[in-house]
Structure 1
């Protein structure tokens, strides 16, 4: 993990030269035309398709106006699944409006990257990002991290220690999980769980009466209401709920939390590569990353603390299951099978 702030001036210059000329461990060169890099001040319109929460987008807007005063940033904000559906329709029509994609579906990014949909761009700020959260050919890079943890209703019987415990006898009828058929974050969690415990784990969950609750909001509601005692939930949702007085406790599972990168990428069809690259730089800048933390997510800048007093990035990575090429391949090539296995387990 590299930090620009720790590099001597000569070292920093050397790294930036490498970034601009060849593929290295952490990044690759931009595919933007050389003439574009000489155009000067970024200006014009940029469309961002994003699943980020609206309040995070609202907080980013003043920063973008300050840093990019001549750029008009337009947002299409929706859940990752809706963004993906809109993109598929636009790509089929040969008219992708988006310049930048910023959702939380890492498998979608890998598929689109393999299809040649993204412009290669190595922002200098990616030097701070852990290698496991980068595409090493610089087609996309994580800009925010969401994390699946356990939440336990305050005052309920002692909590489970791990995700694996949810398939045990002690939690029969007392746990809720999201539905990977409708929730992108629940799907990523299911990919990790199947890789770690096998597809039979879903059968164990169903046999122990686990409730499939749709998305994260539904899981939270079931825990808060007392319908269940424990749920699998995004950390950002749990932190926001606790801040408004929700009777829940956050638990870090012993078998590793599931970190879900929210990457950012520039489409190769963009008509404004200069402004798009400048916007990506702002999102990955210390100022942009602080706004991510204020939105209850972890930044990818290791110098920043975690949200609401949570540990920062380095500790988060030690508490989570690692992303591997095998996991990416599993979600990308066998995602449909995982959804089918889950569906069959809970339809019996």
Structure 2
């Protein structure tokens, strides 16, 4: 993988456009009590909300040294882009360990971003967890986050899964692969290019990059590695009947049921989880390489419960939480911890990509892909 350059970059507009559209929908159906998003966040008016109205100027991590966490009390507000089951277990474990209430909002990365934007003048969240590393990098650049260089076990994270001034903590990750139905596929493809073979005509799904940040990361990472001329590859996929089919779950479900044979560029932890439940699926990582998506946890600059937010980051990087991560079939953020139920990071070949390039080109790439596959 190309060296990750953590130079700040502009918040890409496609992400916010998607977030706002999702927000409008969720406000009409769920946000009154956030019941449809598994949220248990109550009314945040009062002193905590008022304390969150600080101007979001960049602090370059300096505020992380203003105070040290003291005796835990109260609550911490967490906005997280799943996985839902893992998020619930982390919430339960943190509350049991520290006696601090976690008020949690679960949603996609787009819904989390939309909620943050809606609450911008009256911030509520202490911690935000996104499934998209470029989105997290952009939040940092826009001054939404603060650093915490003293985080416990931060030195044990994978080298490229924490930024240079400790705003972004990649506590877990997923890799993108080729998931297939074992009843329908006896000899699975070994590389992305195999999916242009006529024998797979009409049998392959790919997640919609406007709904799945990880799918967009694959498309942009592939183009970053292979060159812009490789748009011809995606044209060949389209000609071979590859279908764009919702987000990751929506793309995988037809493969589980046998309506489709393969989903390409789907998140691997869903495949491992389905297989463990007895579903007829398995996954391969393409020989030419793939993309790994670290899931970034961040402390908000306007965090009303800063001490507890820092404790939450410490917990995410602890042995206990990392065991929960591997139990959910995700890659552990810490390099010293290995999963025994899936392929580990060092055994997955990566494409040669750069997150900054991918984010800068993301809007144009997404638009072109959607135009091609519409």
User: Contact conserved, 1:297 with 1:307, CA < 8 A, in 2?
Assistant: no
1:38-49 counterparts in 2 under 5 A? Answer: 40-49=70-79
Q: How many angstroms apart in 2 are the aligned matches of 1:345 and 1:30?
A: 45
Q: Deviation of residue 138 (structure 1)?
A: 1.1
Question: SS of 1:131's equivalent?
Answer: coil
For residues 89-131 of structure 1, what are the alpha-carbon distances to aligned partners after superposition, in whole Å with 9 as ceiling and x for unaligned? Answer: 222xx12211111120111111111112111112131101122
For residues 280-338 of structure 1, what are the alpha-carbon distances to aligned partners after superposition, in whole Å with 9 as ceiling and x for unaligned? Answer: 00111111111111112111122322252x2334334xx3335x5xx222232221101
Q: Deviation of residue 157 (structure 1)?
A: 4.8
Aligned equivalent of 1:339: 366
For residues 140-181 of structure 1, what are the alpha-carbon distances to aligned partners after superposition, in whole Å with 9 as ceiling and x for unaligned? Answer: 120111111111221425221112322344433221111101
Q: Deviation of residue 249 (structure 1)?
A: 2.0
Q: Deviation of residue 217 (structure 1)?
A: 1.7
C-alpha change, 1:289 and 1:307, in structure 2 (3 Å) is same
Aligned equivalent of 1:11: none
Question: SS of 1:150's equivalent?
Answer: strand
Aligned equivalent of 1:9: none
Aligned equivalent of 1:116: 143
Aligned equivalent of 2:55: none
Aligned counterpart for 2:337 among listed residues 285, 290, 304: 304
Q: How many angstroms apart in 2 are the aligned matches of 1:215 and 1:244?
A: 21
Aligned equivalent of 1:253: 286
Question: SS of 2:220's equivalent?
Answer: helix
Aligned equivalent of 1:192: 221
Aligned equivalent of 2:153: 125
Q: How many angstroms apart in 2 are the aligned matches of 1:329 and 1:114?
A: 12
Aligned equivalent of 1:141: 169
Q: How many angstroms apart in 2 are the aligned matches of 1:168 and 1:137?
A: 46
Aligned equivalent of 2:192: 163
Question: SS of 1:31's equivalent?
Answer: helix
Structure holding more helix per residue: 1
Q: Deviation of residue 30 (structure 1)?
A: 5.0
Q: How many angstroms apart in 1 are the aligned matches of 2:102 and 2:261?
A: 43
Question: SS of 1:199's equivalent?
Answer: helix
Q: How many pairs are equivalent?
A: 309
TM-score of the pair, normalised by structure 2: 0.77
Q: Deviation of residue 222 (structure 1)?
A: 2.1
Q: How many angstroms apart in 2 are the aligned matches of 1:312 and 1:135?
A: 22
Q: How many angstroms apart in 2 are the aligned matches of 1:68 and 1:313?
A: 31
User: Contact conserved, 2:272 with 2:282, CA < 8 A, in 1?
Assistant: no
Aligned equivalent of 1:79: 108
Question: SS of 1:108's equivalent?
Answer: helix
Q: How many angstroms apart in 2 are the aligned matches of 1:131 and 1:337?
A: 29
Aligned equivalent of 1:288: 321
1:163-182 counterparts in 2 under 5 A? Answer: 163-182=192-211
Q: Deviation of residue 257 (structure 1)?
A: 2.9
Aligned counterpart for 1:211 among listed residues 238, 243, 247: 243
Consecutive unaligned residues of structure 1, counting only runs of 5 or more, are: 1-27
Q: Deviation of residue 61 (structure 1)?
A: 2.8
Aligned equivalent of 2:125: 98
Question: SS of 2:63's equivalent?
Answer: coil
Q: How many angstroms apart in 2 are the aligned matches of 1:219 and 1:307?
A: 26
Consecutive unaligned residues of structure 2, counting only runs of 5 or more, are: 1-59
Q: Deviation of residue 48 (structure 1)?
A: 0.5
User: Contact conserved, 1:173 with 1:209, CA < 8 A, in 2?
Assistant: yes
45-54 or 151-160, which deviates more: 151-160
Aligned equivalent of 2:30: none
Aligned equivalent of 1:236: 269
C-alpha RMSD of matched pairs (Å): 2.0
For residues 246-298 of structure 1, what are the alpha-carbon distances to aligned partners after superposition, in whole Å with 9 as ceiling and x for unaligned? Answer: 11221121122321110111011112211111110011111111111111211
Aligned equivalent of 2:182: 154
- 1:315 and 2:347 aligned: yes
Aligned equivalent of 1:273: 306
User: Contact conserved, 1:174 with 1:210, CA < 8 A, in 2?
Assistant: yes
